[in-house]
Structures are given as C-alpha cells and as structure tokens.
A and B are shown apart, each in its own frame.
Chain A
Amino acid sequence: MAGVDDLAKALESTPGGGIILTSIDAIADWARGYSLWMMPMGTACCAMELIAASFSKFDFDRHGSIPRPDPRHTDVMVVAGTITHKMAPAVKRLWAQMPDPKWCIAMGNCAVSGGIFYYDTYSVVRGVDEFLPVDIYIAGCPPRPESLQDAILRLREKVRAESISPSRVRAVEGVLPLPGDPLRGETADAAPEGSDV
C-alpha cells in the first residue's frame, strides 16, 4: 500500500488534487463496500449461524459477501466463536495473511468478550479485540444470521466513509473504532509471535 499512500500524499498537495482524491475515494469505496469477501473464522457454535447465513434462507452472496477459506482472497474476517489461547496464534497469523485494507467482525459474545466463558475458565481469550482491531461487534449467543447481515451493512457504511489517503479521517457515528485507528496499522504488520502453526 506504500505506493498508494505516496500517490495520495502527492495528490493532496497539488492544486485540485483533493477533488481527484475524493473521486477516487468514491469509486474505491463503492467497489470495496459491495464485495466484502468473508474469511469465515468459525471456531464454535456461532460458526453454525455463519454457515446458515451463507445458505439458502439468508443467502449472503446477494450482499457480495462470499465466504472464502483462503485469507489472501478476503477483506473481512468474521470471528465466529470462542477463541482459546491455543487457537489465538492461528487467528493472528491468518489475520496477518489478509491483504490490506481489511476489517474484522467479532460475531457472538465469545468473540466480543469471552461471553459465557468469561469467568471460571483458564483457556479462553476474553474477546478477540485483545489481539485484533475489531470494527463491528455483534452481541448474541449465538447472534441470528440477520444480525450478521446488519453487521455487513454497517461495515459497508464504514467502508464508504474511508479514504485511500491515511491523512483523511472522517468520523462515522456509532461504529468503533474510527478510521485511522493506530491499532489497525500495528496489528497488520505484526509478525505472528509464538505461533506454532
């Protein structure tokens, strides 16, 4: 993305460059927002609802969200299910393998905070946001497929407010963290430490 960043900086400083940049942004965001391919990081119960979401009754393909098991093809990682300490290095590594720009949806209470497994257990990571920058949180144990559908639509709003220039930050109401969150850049480049995968 270094080339795109340089281009964005150069454009921004030239007269009239801002108009070109916003036009490019509009096209890029339109394209990105309508083809959010999913990396289905389904580990536990929520994976069943993730599967249900992509099958006949809910049919996520119509939103352009096609589940792809290869992280290199995908834009958004849907963490559906409990992440244990044993599984966390693998999730971290898969996240690192996804190309930028990328987003993360924490689906279900386990991915949000550990949920029912927050207390009294020794092996569960208390929320995937301990090591991934989460864009959308979906509560529920498990959430209904409609909730995931809502999350994809919310994420689309968020994607459409982003710019290819890192210096242009526009606030989105109700969706956290804001674009330009420093966490986003850090985790993307982090090497998978302690990975045994």
Chain B
Amino acid sequence: MIEPQDTPTDQAAPALPDLDCAPDVVMPEVIYEGDNTIVNIGPSHPSTHGVCRVIVELDGEIVRHAEPVIGHLHRGIEKMAENRTYLQVVPLTDRLDYVGSMYANWAYCRAVERLAGIRVPERAEYIRVIVCELQRIASHMMAIGPAGADTGATSAFMYTFWQRELVVDLFESLCGARLTYNYVRPGGVSFDLPDGWIEKCREFVAQHPAAMLEIDRFLFGNVIFRARTKGIGVLDADDAVSWGASGPVARGSGVDWDLRRDDPYSVYPRFDFSIPVGDNGDVYDRTRVRLWEAIESCRIIGQALDGLAEFEPGTIKADGMPRLLAPRPGDAYDHIESARGSLGVYLVSDGSVRPYRMKVRSPAFCNLALLPLVSEGYTLSDLVVILGSLDPVFGEVDR
C-alpha cells in the first residue's frame, strides 16, 4: 500500500467556465389542479437507462412523487462472492458497474490488499490510475451523450460514443476485452502495457479535450438544451450531503468533495489536477461537471504516462503473492472515487480462502435514492432528464 505524500490541501475548486451563447429561455410555469394519476414507467423503457421501474404520481403533468422500484437486475453478486475464492470474485466485480468495470475491480482489489497486507508495485499503481481515468472518460461519455439524447439532441450521443469507442479500443489492446476487463487483480494488474500502447494513449489524450470543448460548445451552449436542463432537478448542497450523494451528483450541487483529493489513495497525491464543481445543483451543472472531469482526467493520464517511465517494465505484480489468498480473520473497507461517486467495498475474512462477507457501497444506489426528492414539482418529461443526470447503472444499484 502506498502512503499518501504531500497531500494538496490548498487546491481551490475551480468554478465551471462561462459559455458565450444565447440567453436562457425561461419556461412558463404551468399549474394543474385535479386528481392525481399514477403512471408506471418501465422496467423496460428506453429512458430509464437500464431496468428501473418508476411509479410516478402525476398531477396533470407535474410529478408529485416518483418512486423508483429497483431489483430487476439483482443477481446476488455479494452472496456469490461468498462461494468464490478471492481471485475468482474479480470477474464478478466487472459485472457490477458495467459502464466502468475498472473501478469495481480496483475498489475490490484495494479492500483485498488492505485485508491481506499486500504491497502493490508502483508501476502497477500508475497503470491502475491510467486505466481508471480512461474508464472515467468512457463512463462519462455514457452520461453526457444520453443527457443530450433525453432532451432530443441525439447527435451529441454520436460524438460522445465515438470518444468512448476510442477508449474501449485502448482497453481491448490492453487486456483483450471491450467491456468486462478483469484487469486489476489483487496485488497488481494482469498484464503490462503492450508495445506502442503508451503512444496510442497519448494520441487519445491529445485529441480528447478538443472534442470535449466542441461538445461543451454545441451541446451545453445549445439554447434548447439549456432550457430543458437549467433549473431542472435542483438538489441543494445540504440535501446532497445528508442523502449520501457523491461524485458528479454531489459536485454539481457545489459539494467540493472528491476522494482522489480529500482522502487520497494510490499515487493520486503526486498529480496536479483540479476538481470541477458546479453551483446550481441542476441537471445542467451535474452533466457539465462530468464533461470537465473528463478533461481533467486527460491531465492526470498525461502526468501518469510521464511518471510511468521511471519504473522498470514488468514490475506489475506484488512479490510473494500466494496462489490462494487466505487473509487472517478480520475485516477491511476501502473506497475509491468512481465515475459515479464514492465506491467502497467491505470485506470480512474468517481466515478461509473465501470472503466471509462482501458488501459493496454503491454510489449509484445512493444517487438514485435522490430521485423522489429532486424530481418533485417538475414535469414528467423532466423526470426522464433528471433520472439520466443521476447516471444510475443498475448492475451496481441492484448488485
């Protein structure tokens, strides 16, 4: 385990930059009076971003209450982990957050390493940071694009998905899989970087910020998108904290909290990066925070690629790793900043080769719980946009 060094504490959170675009359209307030109607959305509905069922109580077109019904993708991963050895659990964690598999891999491996007292080589830590920041970009592309699609701007999805495909290609050349990587393992990573990968990664990082700024201009500067998302689904900072929101959902509300800086893990203290924070807590800020995070991720990847040269290639696995891990009885919890927020894994060991209990603290679950709070009083069509901005991944919500 690498101890945090020279933690940057005085980094001020930068506000999102102003955009030069047309003034906002203020939508007229519509008031309905009458009996409430119950409308059922899902569990198979394109706007629920997965298999979520939402029971909506409507007054005219205004949402009075929206109740998410979860569990349609409950696969019992936590229970399954109790019947797998520590190494066999890693592929299961891939299927938790399937938009960002690397995070669940990493959070689980950190918990195992803490439990068993494994020291990870620094080269492996750098590679983990690189792949996880690439994963953050890929995951945010799946949040920004659908935000455009939900409001009718399908072309934005095409642009963001192209960027995601570039990341997926990088991962494919790294570990052979497009989606479920099984790459981060307890004690290190499974393969070293292949020949020419660093150059390909640098090419991606060089072109990505420009692509993001283009989307910033044509999506976030678009007058229709602004009218549909500004002032919609407002979540204030106190509520965000008390409901346990994390990640871009909390940061969009002005909560300046990011585990990479505030509870530094791995080699993050060595990098210079900033945490974008919104201030209105609406759909617009939540989504735009993701876009600027993707640009910041490019900075981190660039620095990590530079730092990687110091370490000898091939030193990617911890020394003396047994074939079958059997940690001493005890428990361990570790968390990382995933694309959706603070993702934690709690492991209990009874001294055998299998975990006695695994519990996943899922940011998507906590963020989805906010839906009744943030959607109340907005229209049904806004509910779709609000649900998308919370960016739930149901593999992780239902586990």
Interface residues of chain A, those whose CB is within 8 Å of chain B, are 40-41, 43-45, 47-49, 51-52, 55-57, 69, 81-82, 84, 86-87, 90-91, 94, 116-117, 119-124, 141-142, 144, 197
Contacts and interface: CB of A to CB of B under 8 A. Distances in A.
Contacts of B94: 45
A197 B43 contact: yes
23 contacts: A44-B95, A44-B98, A45-B95, A45-B395, A52-B178, A55-B157, A55-B158, A55-B162, A56-B162, A56-B165, A69-B45, A69-B46, A82-B73, A84-B75, A86-B74, A87-B72, A90-B43, A90-B44, A117-B75, A117-B80, A121-B75, A122-B79, A124-B76
A47 to B, nearest CB: 8
Given A44-B95, A82-B73, A144 B158 contact: no
B147 interface: no
Interface residues of B, number: 36
Contact of B165 (A44, A57, A124): A57
Nearest to A82: B75
Contacts of B142: 48
Nearest to A94: B44
Given A56-B161, A120-B80, A121-B76, A41 B99 contact: no
A122 B76 contact: yes
Contacts of A142: 178-180
Interface string B223-244: 0000000000000000000000
B50 interface: yes
Contacts of A122: 76, 79
B51 interface: yes
Contacts, number: 97
Interface string B61-95: 00000000001111110011001100000011011
A116 B94 CA distance: 11
A42 B40 CA distance: 19
Majority-rule SS of A interface residues = loop
A144 B44 CA distance: 23
- List 6 A-B pairs, minimum CB-CB distance, nearest first: A45-B98, A121-B76, A69-B46, A120-B83, A87-B72, A55-B161
Contacts of B157: 55
A144 B80 contact: no
Contact of B75 (A47, A90, A123, A141): A123
A122 B40 CA distance: 27
Interface string B152-164: 0000011001100
A48 B76 contact: no
Most chain B CB within 10 A, of A48, A49, A82, is at A48
A49 B164 CA distance: 12
B179 A49 contact: yes
Contacts of B75: 44, 82, 84, 117, 121, 123-124
Nearest to A124: B75
Given A48-B179, A49-B179, A142-B180, A86 B79 contact: no
Interface string B192-208: 00000000000000000
A144 B40 CA distance: 33
Contacts of B178: 49, 52, 142, 144
Contact of B161 (A52, A82, A123, A197): A52
